Amino acid sequence: MPSRASTAWPPGCGRWWWAGDEPSHFWTEGPVPSRILIHVEHPAGCGPLAEHLAAAGHEVTVAHGGRPDGGLAGVKLVPLPNAPAAPSDGDWEALRWTATHRLAAELRPDLLIVELFPFGRRDLAFELTPLIQIVAARGGHIAVTLPATLAPPRDPALDRDAAAFARDWADLILVEGDPAAPPLEAQVPALADLAGRLRYAGADGVAGTVAALQPLL
């Protein structure tokens, strides 16, 4: 399977800009605002982070499957088709993927932040797997956010598969917890294979998350 290794960013402070389907390299000496797409179940969970990134001048879009309680300052909220009552609905999957693919094609994000997947939200693999691969293939960075604990029981085989996928495609695995607490690797041993890109946000919360994301912006 191809990996994101072939889509690494060039050294320096430039950016890949796209004209149609062809990349061209634009060089700048100053910081460049990033186009950031955050994919979550509900926007409330990423609200403080999204607003912080928007306040820093980045173009932030949150794609979500829940009903937002209100807006987020400076952030574009894009609702995706909600899951149907039936466990599996091919029509819904097609609608959902079409909406997500259209959004990614429109935004061409420099950074995609994905909640839980591939260690959770596996029911959305039909949507999130190609989304991650498309964004990476276009030169974008991929960050996966995980809570301090993951819902039990865990399937070691599935977690190993998730770690293999993350190793191929993700630049950063960010745990929203304090490394002084019991590490998430104790619950999910497969995360040990990602030690080089596994970071903890720490007690600072949003500040720690932004610091971890900074090399990708």
Inside any domain, residue 159 = yes
Inside any domain, residue 25 = no
The CATH number assigned to the domain holding 118 equals 3.40.50.2000
Inside any domain, residue 29 = no
Amino acid, single-letter form, for residue 154 = R
Amino acid, single-letter form, for residue 176 = E
Q: Note the pLDDT tens digit of each residue in 98-136.
A: 999 999 999 999 999 999 999 999 999 999 999 999 999
Number of domains comprising the chain = 1
pLDDT at 15: 45
Q: Note the pLDDT tens digit of each residue in 57-92.
A: 999 999 998 777 778 999 999 999 987 765 556 688
**∠ CA 106-40-92 to the nearest 5 degrees?**
70
How many other C-beta atoms can be found within 10 angstroms of the C-beta atom of residue 34?
Answer: 20
Average pLDDT, the chain: 85
Inside any domain, residue 12 = no
**How many Å apart are CA 138 and CA 36, to the nearest integer?**
14
- Which domain range does residue 148 map to? 34-216
CB 68 within 8 A of CB 141: no
Inside any domain, residue 125 = yes
Inside any domain, residue 1 = no
**pLDDT higher than 80, residue 35:** yes
Inside any domain, residue 3 = no
pLDDT at 150: 92
pLDDT at 162: 98
Inside any domain, residue 2 = no
Angle subtended by helix axes 47-55 and 206-213, to nearest 10: 60
User: What percent of the chain has pLDDT above 70?
Assistant: 83
